[in-house]
Chains A and B, each alone.
Chain A
Amino acid sequence: MKIAPGEYFLQGNEACVQGALSAGVRFFAGYPITPSTEIAEGLSHKLKGADGVFLQMEDEIACISAVIGASWGGVKAMTATSGPGFSLMQEAIGYAAMSETPVVIVNVMRGGPSTGQPTRASQGDVMQTKYGSHGDYQVIAFAPASVQEMFDLTVDSFNYSEKYRVPAFLLSDAEIGHMRGLLKIPEHIRIIDRKEKGMKRPDEAYDVPDNLVHPFPVFGKGHKTMITGMTHTDTSKIEPEDARVHQELVERLSEKILRNRKDINKWELMCPGSKTMIVSYGSASLGAKEVAASDDRVGLLRLKSLWPFPEEPVAEVARNCSQILVSEMNLGMMYWEIKRVAVENGCKKVELLSKIGGDPPTPSEFRHRLREMGAL
């Protein structure tokens, strides 16, 4: 079922399907929505019989709920959607965070708010990914910028979701999901399986201390597991009135991600040390990459993961440059996080190149803005 090592010419969404299969997905529940539908269609061909379950459900709430249920059955489970469907999933995403259920959610972002631009790219859901459900919680989110990364970061979404028992997100967009390009499948793909209760083995998942990420008690194995979205103790006793239990639980859910930021965060750095640095991610970074490759006065920090926020690389860049241009396809979301860290680290000039409507910023738009900033 897994794609053989070699070179392929695939669509971004198809590469995501292959990444999921390589990571070992055994359950997918989806609902048709542009521009993510190819992921559901692709997996409907692959997940059948003993290979796994593909399920088309009545709405996105049902999809994410079934995916969480399947994860408690002990399998790697995933759903894929876009803006409106992602909004519907928010309550259950909070449930997955609270109940520490590993699930992978692909959001092929489109223009919002509301129905917006179903066929056009956007990066308007990056804050919703982290803050969409009520209460304090942390998640893991990756932002692919190529067909290759649609594959690689889908695999990583599964790996980190399983390792930290947390919902992990692949924040793609209509541009990356629908572009076609080269996909290289290596001989060896790093796979991390969840740390299951009652099992001991030398594995990356077992590197995380038990006091932060508890071993996962799969249903049907006599663990008498009690899973709830209510405030609970480590032994799943419901204690909604106990302030101390609530604080310990919610702090641990955050800490297990924040303390392991260095393990999770991924980025690409071009021309480090340039006086002017562009910080961007996903399809908004495509034009910036071209600029940074052709002009050594400008560097690029391309974030491949957005949550937990990669403070270290942003701080490092801010300490060594005099100005930063942030580019994203929204009216400024990650900009405020980047600006916060940059200012804390001595870079006072942080500007935003924001573009919405569906087209990623072009190299000439970057150059025009960089000239205004005196960088070129």
Chain B
Amino acid sequence: MELFEFYRKDRWPHVFCPGCGNGTVMNCFYRAFSELALPLDKTAFVGGIGCSSRIPLYINSDALHTTHGRAIAFATGLKLAKPELKIVVFTGDGDLGAIGGNHFINGCRRNVDMTVICINNNIYGMTGGQASITTPHDFQSTTTPYGNKEYPFDLAEIAVAAGANYVARWTTRNVHELAKSMKTALQKKGFTFVEVVSQCPTNFGRRNKMADPSQMLEWFKESSIRRDKDKPALDQVDLNIEGKVTIGEFVDRNRECYEELIGVGKHG
């Protein structure tokens, strides 16, 4: 599939800032999706509110751009009403982990077949750079002028604990691993979760001495610690404290998904 068969050319230019990591994630996703030769018209893309949640609107397929935090709940209804659709949710750290935290946890637990890709840029980018639930401890944002005194959520660890079938985390530096994980997630049944730690040079980097996107990628290189190779059966992930981030594939299991358990039929 050509790039502009996959993306809606008429929707460009996009809203993302120069240096944003969303483009990297979109490119990796396009690679994963086209290598698997999945049918675009039988895939629905769902997003909440935020920069990353805008991605579904650029893809040349059915897109549901929903309310803030509720993408997984909308996607659950859509999937169960039309089980032949493949569902991909694009979301961000604020959308998924803060306002939508409850739906995230219960989505993992319910294990409805969908792939959730969370672009975690550690900040509320669209609203101008407020601290999010993944902003590292003591980092700066427009709402933490004295440094972030809270400790961040580890979204991948939550997904593992809540029961997702597949959980992986990469940074935008790990493009090959990321595309491979997206392929695995798309092929797997049940709730699959791929977190991408991404750069927001405009609203995160600029206030944390990394205004240049390449500085942020350098930071990802220095601060990421790969864990899956050391511990292949790892089911515990370290908290993302002080900007350190664990990357790798954390869980790959085959719990029966919800629609199989309730024997959902085809409607309409």
With an 8 Å Cβ cutoff, the count of chain A residues facing the other chain is 46
**Taking the complex as formed, is A242 at the interface, i.e. its CB lies under 8 A from any CB of chain B?**
no
A228 and B81 within 8 A (CB):
no
As a 0/1 sequence over residues 193 to 237 of chain A, the CB contacts with chain B under 8 angstroms (1 = contact) are: 000000000000000000000000011111111111110000001
Residues in chain B near residue A52, CB distance under 8 A: 267
Q: A65 is contacted by which of B41, B73, B85, B105 (Cβ under 8 Å)?
A: B73
A65 and B66 within 8 A (CB):
yes
As a 0/1 sequence over residues 241 to 256 of chain B, the CB contacts with chain A under 8 angstroms (1 = contact) are: 0000000000000000
Residues in chain A near residue B268, CB distance under 8 A: 26, 73-75, 218
A220 to B64, CA, bound (A): 12
Across the interface, name the chain A residue whose C-beta is closest to B103.
A62
A95 to B218, CA, bound (A): 41
A29 and B77 within 8 A (CB):
yes
B85 and A219 within 8 A (CB):
yes
Across the interface, name the chain A residue whose C-beta is closest to B263.
A49
Across the interface, name the chain B residue whose C-beta is closest to A238.
B57
A227 and B65 within 8 A (CB):
yes
A362 CB, min distance to chain B CBs, angstroms: 43
B102 and A73 within 8 A (CB):
no
Q: B78 is contacted by which of A57, A58, A70 (Cβ under 8 Å)?
A: A70
Q: Using a CB-CB cutoff of 8 Å, which residues 155-194 of chain B contact chain A?
A: none
Residues in chain B near residue A224, CB distance under 8 A: 8, 41, 60-62
Residues in chain B near residue A228, CB distance under 8 A: 57, 63, 65
Residues in chain B near residue A223, CB distance under 8 A: 62
A209 to B70, CA, bound (A): 32
Across the interface, name the chain B residue whose C-beta is closest to A230.
B65
A65 to B64, CA, bound (A): 11
**Taking the complex as formed, is A316 at the interface, i.e. its CB lies under 8 A from any CB of chain B?**
no
A59 to B42, CA, bound (A): 29
**Taking the complex as formed, is B44 at the interface, i.e. its CB lies under 8 A from any CB of chain A?**
yes
**Taking the complex as formed, is B106 at the interface, i.e. its CB lies under 8 A from any CB of chain A?**
yes
A98 CB, min distance to chain B CBs, angstroms: 10
Residues in chain B near residue A220, CB distance under 8 A: 41-42, 44, 62, 82, 84-85
Q: A229 is contacted by which of B65, B105, B266 (Cβ under 8 Å)?
A: B65
A69 and B267 within 8 A (CB):
no
Q: B76 is contacted by which of A51, A55, A61, A237 (Cβ under 8 Å)?
A: A55
Across the interface, name the chain B residue whose C-beta is closest to A47.
B262
Q: Using a CB-CB cutoff of 8 Å, which residues 12-71 of chain A contact chain B?
A: 26-27, 29, 48-53, 55, 57-59, 61-63, 65-71
In the complex, number of A-B residue pairs with CB atoms less than 8 Å apart = 144
**Taking the complex as formed, is B232 at the interface, i.e. its CB lies under 8 A from any CB of chain A?**
no
Given A95-B66, A226-B63, the answer on whether A69 and B265 have CB atoms closer than 8 Å is no
Interface of chain B, helix or strand or loop or mixed?
A: mixed
B82 and A51 within 8 A (CB):
no
Residues in chain B near residue A221, CB distance under 8 A: 41
Given A57-B73, A69-B77, the answer on whether A229 and B267 have CB atoms closer than 8 Å is no
Residues in chain A near residue B77, CB distance under 8 A: 27, 29, 55, 65-71, 73, 77
Across the interface, name the chain B residue whose C-beta is closest to A68.
B74
Given A50-B265, A219-B62, A224-B61, the answer on whether A27 and B85 have CB atoms closer than 8 Å is no
**Taking the complex as formed, is A91 at the interface, i.e. its CB lies under 8 A from any CB of chain B?**
yes
**Taking the complex as formed, is A366 at the interface, i.e. its CB lies under 8 A from any CB of chain B?**
no
A66 and B65 within 8 A (CB):
no
B66 and A74 within 8 A (CB):
no
Residues in chain B near residue A68, CB distance under 8 A: 66, 74, 77
Q: B63 is contacted by which of A61, A69, A227 (Cβ under 8 Å)?
A: A227
**Taking the complex as formed, is A72 at the interface, i.e. its CB lies under 8 A from any CB of chain B?**
yes
Across the interface, name the chain A residue whose C-beta is closest to B74.
A69
Residues in chain A near residue B85, CB distance under 8 A: 73, 219-220
B76 CB, min distance to chain A CBs, angstroms: 5
A173 CB, min distance to chain B CBs, angstroms: 27
Q: Using a CB-CB cutoff of 8 Å, which residues 1-27 of chain B contact chain A?
A: 8, 11
Q: A77 is contacted by which of B63, B81, B262, B265 (Cβ under 8 Å)?
A: B81
Across the interface, name the chain B residue whose C-beta is closest to A54.
B262
Q: B263 is contacted by which of A48, A225, A229 (Cβ under 8 Å)?
A: A48
Given A27-B81, A73-B77, A77-B81, the answer on whether A92 and B70 have CB atoms closer than 8 Å is yes
A223 to B64, CA, bound (A): 13
A225 to B82, CA, bound (A): 15
B67 and A53 within 8 A (CB):
no
Across the interface, name the chain A residue whose C-beta is closest to B70.
A65
**Taking the complex as formed, is B123 at the interface, i.e. its CB lies under 8 A from any CB of chain A?**
no
Residues in chain B near residue A71, CB distance under 8 A: 77, 81
B67 and A26 within 8 A (CB):
no
**Taking the complex as formed, is B80 at the interface, i.e. its CB lies under 8 A from any CB of chain A?**
yes
Q: B44 is contacted by which of A92, A219, A230 (Cβ under 8 Å)?
A: A219
B263 CB, min distance to chain A CBs, angstroms: 5
A65 and B67 within 8 A (CB):
yes
A48 CB, min distance to chain B CBs, angstroms: 7
A49 to B80, CA, bound (A): 11
**Taking the complex as formed, is B38 at the interface, i.e. its CB lies under 8 A from any CB of chain A?**
no
A72 and B65 within 8 A (CB):
no
B73 and A53 within 8 A (CB):
no
Across the interface, name the chain A residue whose C-beta is closest to B68.
A91
A250 to B8, CA, bound (A): 26
Q: List 13 A-B contacts (CB under 8 A).
A: A27-B81, A48-B263, A51-B265, A58-B106, A62-B102, A71-B77, A72-B62, A73-B78, A74-B81, A74-B82, A92-B70, A220-B84, A225-B62
Which of B's residues lie within 8 Å of A, judged by CB? 8, 11, 41-42, 44, 46, 57, 60-67, 70, 73-82, 84-85, 102-103, 105-106, 262-268
Which of A's residues lie within 8 Å of B, judged by CB? 26-27, 29, 48-53, 55, 57-59, 61-63, 65-75, 77, 91-92, 95, 218-230, 237-238
Closest 5 A-B residue pairs measured CB to CB?
A73-B81, A69-B77, A50-B265, A66-B77, A73-B82
